A = this chain, B = another copy of it.
């Protein structure tokens, strides 16, 4: 296995953002630019902490950014819009990042909004999209875009990251079970076969690129697509980045469990006003999100308290996700007590560094010869694929163990075994 390991130093890695001019993507570009120019510290990035000392991760200034977008919008315009709306981007940073934003612009291609629901389609630039309504053509074009990005920028590895808005939930179909069934179904222009996130996933894994799903959309999580990934040796992981209220849940529920305090009910109300919020205002898209936010508590405490999750679009809040959680619990003498918290965080600011961390860790995994799902990244997701553990600290300990192993392996030049996060 030591032979499989490629040196990462000097590597050049591409980040292909699905939603290239969205809030998370724009924040990622600005933050990356600001760190490179020493205009901001590396807060939020764990790949810049002691945890990764001794690991030869791809350098921050060797990351190249591109992506798909469905609105006619440039990265620079998106940065200015974000600056206006959300008050966490300074004039100085936008100015300093202008060259970076313009270089990204060349790598932005028109994507697809197929089956993203009316809420997403309303945001899209119809003129941009309507020219290619034929499904086989769409998938081919997406592949060409990503492969072309890799080639023209001489990249060692491309990581495709879905940072688009949430799609409506998708019911599995017969064609989803095997690639040999799905491929011809797509060829037959089966419009209703798959949502956009899965088309991007196919484009990514078909080309052997890594695919990360930062949303609760379907993406790669279709047996047929995972089968295709196994054939190409692509890495993938998802789904739904764990940034705020759900992070809190996965940190606090273990505390109640550890003290044998019985959680009676856990109510979480989320309000925010960015473009994601607008999309989630559509009940179809919201249902998918709420499911992803709600399941962990039972999983951690081992019984089913009454839970309630709401996400509402409040325009004035822009990117500032504000969540009120009320946790009602019973202790000794069956006494009812409560914990409330209010989380007030800029959603994109919380999400962007997780994407950067995962891209670097995925590239590390690729150099180590790994393929398939990456359970070591469980702590970054609300619903980590193939991982049952929902306790944030156990997920984080699993990542820590994985990184410590990697550092040991690198120094000892001994083969290391792959750890899986399971209970």
Tell me the A residues contacting B by CB distance below 8 Å.
Answer: 27, 30-31, 34, 40-46, 48-49, 87-91, 93, 247-248, 251-252, 254-255, 258-262, 264-265, 267, 269, 271, 306, 308, 310, 312, 314-317, 322, 324, 326, 328, 330-346, 349-350, 352-353, 379, 392-393, 396
Contacts and interface: CB of A to CB of B under 8 A. Distances in A.
Contacts of A264: 316
Q: Which of A316, A317, A339 has the most CB of B within 10 A?
A: A316
Given A88-B335, A331-B345, A331-B349, 8 more contacts: A40-B334, A43-B332, A45-B332, A87-B336, A255-B392, A314-B328, A332-B353, A341-B341
Nearest to A341: B341
Nearest to A332: B44
Nearest to A41: B334
A234 to B, nearest CB: 27
Contacts of A89: 333
Nearest to A93: B333
A18 to B, nearest CB: 20
Contacts of A267: 269, 271, 312, 314
B324 A353 contact: no
A247 to B, nearest CB: 7
B312 A308 contact: yes
13 contacts: A27-B332, A27-B333, A43-B330, A46-B259, A46-B260, A251-B252, A258-B392, A260-B353, A264-B316, A267-B269, A331-B346, A332-B350, A339-B344
A259 B247 contact: yes
A349 B326 contact: no
A304 to B, nearest CB: 12
Contacts of A258: 46, 379, 392-393, 396
A299 to B, nearest CB: 16
B334 A43 contact: yes
A248 B256 CA distance: 10
Nearest to A350: B331
Nearest to A310: B310
Contacts of A260: 42-46, 48-49, 353
Nearest to A86: B335
